[in-house]
Amino acid sequence: MMTNFVLVAIAIATLLFLAYRGYSIAAATYSMATLSAISAAVTGFGLLTWLFTAIFLACLLFTVPSLRLRFVSKPTLITMRRMMPPLSNTEKEAIDAGNVWWDGELFSGKPDWRRLLSGSKPVLSDREQAFLDGPVNELCRMVDKWQINHELNRLPESIINYVREHGFLGMIIPKRYGGLEFSPVAQSEILLRLSNTGSGVSYLVGVPNSLGPGELLIKYGTEAQKDHYLPRLASGEEIPCFALTGPTAGSDATSIPDTGTVCMGEWQGEEVIGMRLNFSKRYITLSSIATLVGLAFRLKDPDGLLGDVKDYGITCALIPHDTQGMQIGRRHLPIGDAFLNGPIQGQDVFVPLSFIIGGPEMAGKGWRMLVNCLSVGRAVTLPTTAVAVSKRSLLGTSAYASLRRQFGIPIAQFEGIQKPLARIAGLSYIIDAARLQTIQAIVEGNKPSVASAILKYHTTEMARQCVIDAMDIHAGKAVVKGPKNYIADMYESMPVAITVEGANILTRNLMIFGQGAIRSHPYVMQEMTLAHAEDSQETIARFDTTLTAHIGHSISNFARTLTMGLGLSREVVPSGNLHLLPYYRHFNRLSSLFAMITDVALLNLNAKLKFKEMLSARLGDLLSMLFLGSMVIKQHEESQHPEEEWPVVQWALDYLLHQYQVAFDQLMENWPNRWVPGVLKRLAFPIGRRYPAPKDSLEKSVVELITVDSATRIKMTSGLFLEVAANNPLAEVNQVFLESLNLQPILKRLTRALRTGELEKAEDMELADAALQAAMITEHEAEQLRRFDRHLMAIIHVDDFDESELIRAPYHKYGQDDQQQITG
């Protein structure tokens, strides 16, 4: 009996070791042949010997190419062809957008951390920093957000002209066309600084430098189009917008009903082949002031004027705003900040074929153009918006919670306040790390489409939680509107970021895992392509090679998950940071688990997984937590104050691990086949190891760190516009907070005197007078206390208005004169 036990233990250990280290199946075949022979010699031809022999034969089946082809690869290929429908052109173009970056490492189950850490640290050039310190700061000084949002409902002409004249609209345009040619990091930092001005100005700058005519022209335009339009866009002579969304085509953008029909028509006195466009668009940012409209429509050629193709599909063109038949200039009224957004219609708008971006050769390639541009732009603009919201929430709330006292102590000392305050700090760190590290990957030439979807969903959702927590902590201070309120406009505007560029529900349920499993998995895309390729010996041979590698990949991740779950692995990680060592191992382990679950899901649910949106969303959450945790680790590795900021980083990593655990548990609870989660749960957590939420003691440490003027607080709120002025109430509350820290020695001295009875209880300025009279402070110190009290009360007070000030002119007054304001 003991001999059998030893042989079984050796067999299990051998197979686990070979699979864990990724050895070929041949090594397992030889090992099992040896064990089978030993077993026969020692114990005879009993059950154990036959078991080893059966495993040997199974390994042999995969080792011998002819056997593997006949009994494994060919039947699998036939099954995949029958069960898996081919990808549509739309799906192919969406999946082909961008490239595989760190997401591919996470799908592998064995992430190469050296690859991630070898990336450069995000930096600004001297020229970019000078622009931030010059024109960007000046623009922030000019903007009165309260006036724009609550009195004008539009941007003043002076602001729009300043933006145009100082090159803000040409940040992505190359220098040779007159643009600034700033890096994505600089674009993000500029938008972050402009957050003080509200969404109206931020979107005026952000939209032309994101998905729109400028980027499409740079990547796909003809030389003539570039030479004509890019200098005009860079100088602000042209203001662009891009019209994609329509009344019946939102998330399903490829179903747009807008058409362009190839036909003969008159253009500038000549008969030419062109397109007659009919379209109805809505939610188009900057449409009311745009002079150049990027338009997406479905191009058809019923008379065959261009060739044999009758329906080219989605096409993108540039249309001047004053083209006959174009209806443009009216406004929507979006929630929150007053940014320019409106509808565009066109009836029988005739333009030449040369208006197609890239010329007639790019007819029908519009969707590919859009998704390729979106894979980059979506990682910049909206994550930057999320960073702005989280940083502003952190700065304002940490300051206000330190200043506002109830029951004689700052509310930041109440545990009920500390939990949401710590959450703001931790989520803010995650958002900023994900933004900076992903944008730096773009700088280095990546186009991370899956990562951009992760950022779009999770950074905006985390930012929404930050501003909700900020609202709760500020209480009445945040719910009363007025020039002093630095929270309410963010709170009201957050749904815009949640909704645009792929609504968050769509992004989480369909895009993150749905596209990631095909795009980022090391083998699935190759297998799907080969499954629907021409049937030939070469196809079968390539499929056999890919399938064999995929099987080895799955077995290896199975072994890695079990081994690491039992605590038997201590992988070497590329870090000297002792705090991070266990977290590298946690994320390695959970990456293997994720890779294994992905293969099980694809095998067990196959094509049905596409329609299991709730399961797909949770699989996407597993991937997202791994990705976001990796970005936090890299951000911390680059920190100049790693020891001081560690409580915030630990909170972030513990939170993400816990969210992975929650997603895993929910996935298992809702898996259609009950035997699958039963096996997976025991493999994932064989000794019951779990990932709890951040501890209360850790959250207290985080709050202590952000309610003093620490290097960590300064770093986590850097990038904001913090010049103290009447149009910057956020900077004012922070300034009073810093003033309170400087007065702590005096205040502590007086507090002790009150407790000992040396000083009678008094309030506010009376306390300063009483302390001065008792000779406990100097006249200078008394004046400091009086001045601080005046500043503090200015912060605590909220705005009030005369009834006549609340009567606003009808909104329609501002709906139709914007176009004349810009182009008249």
DSSP output for 153-193? SS--HHHHHHHHHTTGGGSSS-GGGT-----HHHHHHHHHH
Using 50, 70 and 90 to split pLDDT, how confident is the model at 237? very high
The predicted pLDDT at position 796 comes to 94
Helix (H) or strand (E) holding 406: strand 405-406
| DSSP H stretches of helix in 444-580 | 449-474, 476-479, 488-499, 504-506, 512-519, 524-531, 537-565
Mean pLDDT calculated for residue range 113-129: 94
Distance between CA atoms of residues 130 and 790, nearest Å:
36
Q: Are 558 and 596 in contact (CB under 8 A)?
A: yes
Q: Of 344-353, 563-572, 574-583, 812-821, give the lowest mean pLDDT range.
A: 812-821
Residue 302 lies in a domain: yes
Q: Are 169 and 236 in contact (CB under 8 A)?
A: yes
Using 50, 70 and 90 to split pLDDT, how confident is the model at 374? confident
Residue 422 has pLDDT above 70, yes or no: yes
Q: Which of 13, 42, 63 is the last residue of a domain?
A: 63
The predicted pLDDT at position 88 comes to 65
What pLDDT digit, counting tens, does each position of 711-770 carry?
A: 999 999 999 999 999 999 999 999 999 999 999 999 888 888 888 888 887 776 788 888
Q: Which of 63, 89, 113 is the last residue of a domain?
A: 63
CA 496 to chain CA centroid, nearest Å: 15
Residue 122 has pLDDT above 60, yes or no: yes
CA dist list (Å): 740 to 179, 763, 796:
45, 16, 14
The predicted pLDDT at position 765 comes to 72
Q: Which of 331, 362, 377 is the last residue of a domain?
A: 377
The predicted pLDDT at position 819 comes to 41
The predicted pLDDT at position 589 comes to 94
Query: Which of 93-97, 427-431, 668-672, 680-684 has maximum average pLDDT?
Result: 427-431
Q: Which residue has the higher pLDDT, 721 or 564?
A: 721
Residue 178 lies in a domain: no
Query: Which residue from 112, 220, 66, 72 is spatially nearest to 546, judged by alpha carbons?
Result: 72
Indicate which CATH number applies to the domain containing 295: 2.40.110.10
Residue 560 lies in a domain: no
Residue 813 has pLDDT above 70, yes or no: no
Q: Of 118-122, 469-473, 717-721, give the lowest mean pLDDT range.
A: 118-122
Using 50, 70 and 90 to split pLDDT, how confident is the model at 95? low
Using 50, 70 and 90 to split pLDDT, how confident is the model at 674? confident
The predicted pLDDT at position 89 comes to 65
Helix (H) or strand (E) holding 280: strand 270-285
Using 50, 70 and 90 to split pLDDT, how confident is the model at 92? low
Using 50, 70 and 90 to split pLDDT, how confident is the model at 430? very high
Mean pLDDT calculated for residue range 686-705: 93
Residue 11 lies in a domain: yes
Q: How does the average pLDDT of the chain come out, rounded? A: 90
Using 50, 70 and 90 to split pLDDT, how confident is the model at 273? very high
Q: Of 230-234, 564-568, 603-607, 612-616, give the lowest mean pLDDT range.
A: 603-607
Distance between CA atoms of residues 694 and 567, nearest Å:
22
Q: Taking the CA atoms of 291, 294, 298 and 301 in sequence, report the sign of the dihedral they define.
A: positive
Using 50, 70 and 90 to split pLDDT, how confident is the model at 408? confident
Residue 161 has pLDDT above 90, yes or no: yes
Question: How many domains are contained in the chain?
Answer: 3
The predicted pLDDT at position 443 comes to 93
Percent of the chain predicted with pLDDT > 90: 63
Mean pLDDT calculated for residue range 20-46: 82
The predicted pLDDT at position 141 comes to 96
The predicted pLDDT at position 97 comes to 66
Residue 17 lies in a domain: yes
Residue 699 has pLDDT above 50, yes or no: yes
Residue 727 lies in a domain: no
Residue 810 has pLDDT above 50, yes or no: no
Pick the catalytic residue: 93, 501, 645, 781? 501
Residue 780 lies in domain: 743-804
Residue 312 lies in a domain: yes
The predicted pLDDT at position 85 comes to 67
The predicted pLDDT at position 91 comes to 63
Q: Are 636 and 584 in contact (CB under 8 A)?
A: no
Q: Of 187-201, 289-303, 508-522, give the lowest mean pLDDT range.
A: 508-522
Percent of the chain predicted with pLDDT > 70: 95
Residue 289 lies in a domain: yes
409-410 and 292-300 as β-strands: parallel, antiparallel, unpaired? Answer: unpaired
Q: Is 501 a catalytic residue?
A: yes
